[in-house]
Chain A
């Protein structure tokens, strides 16, 4: 099975900062990678699909990039409402799906 490794597991940043979260796949998944945001007590929400496409309604300060095994979620101009845990998810073979372990983002 494909394993997904996120880093860091947690981080704190200031409002207005640029934040980067990385996700590494154990094998080449081309661009079959999504990012989700989960706020405390809520269900996950799709942010980015196909590695770099912004889901409708998601602010443009969220950007996804990467291909193959290495992927990045970048949040520019961090806002207080961005406090959440972020997960990557691969869908390379469409019969099994794997999430990263999550990155908990806090505000300094």
Chain B
């Protein structure tokens, strides 16, 4: 059974950093691009970033570009989101999601989601 489990969320002060992790199991992780998507409390879905299956291509939402970095370690079936210079508007439940494409930079369809990890930004 394919599964994604996020971790690393917590309470952080504005301007500080946090690193999220998402560990995959039950599928060939190294073949799929991976996304991060966030959802502020009571709000809609907000796409954050994508990384290609091999980690060579990365794309970001305008709101996080230059502050957030997505990376992956295929030997550990894990994708990361390094979040720097956090702002109050970054507070959200962060989901990782599998892109259904295999061996490509992206296909654009998110077919498997984790349960999310909560990030709170507060002084």
Contacts and interface: CB of A to CB of B under 8 A. Distances in A.
Interface of A: 1, 32, 34, 36, 38, 42-46, 49-50, 55, 85, 87, 89, 91, 94-102
Contact of B45 (A42, A45, A99): A99
Nearest to A38: B45
Contact of A99 (B46, B111, B115, B116): B46
Given A43-B113, A43-B116, A94-B108, 4 more contacts: A32-B108, A42-B115, A45-B113, A50-B109
Contacts of B95: 43-44
B106 A94 contact: yes
Contacts, number: 63
B108 A97 contact: yes
B11 interface: no
Contacts of B116: 43
Which of B35, B45, B61, B62 has the most C-beta atoms of chain A within 10 angstroms of its own C-beta? B45
B110 interface: yes
Contacts of B97: 44
B59 interface: yes
27 contacts: A38-B45, A43-B116, A44-B45, A45-B113, A46-B109, A46-B110, A49-B100, A50-B109, A85-B44, A87-B45, A89-B45, A89-B47, A91-B106, A91-B107, A91-B109, A94-B105, A94-B107, A94-B108, A95-B106, A96-B61, A97-B35, A97-B47, A99-B44, A99-B45, A100-B44, A102-B44, A102-B45
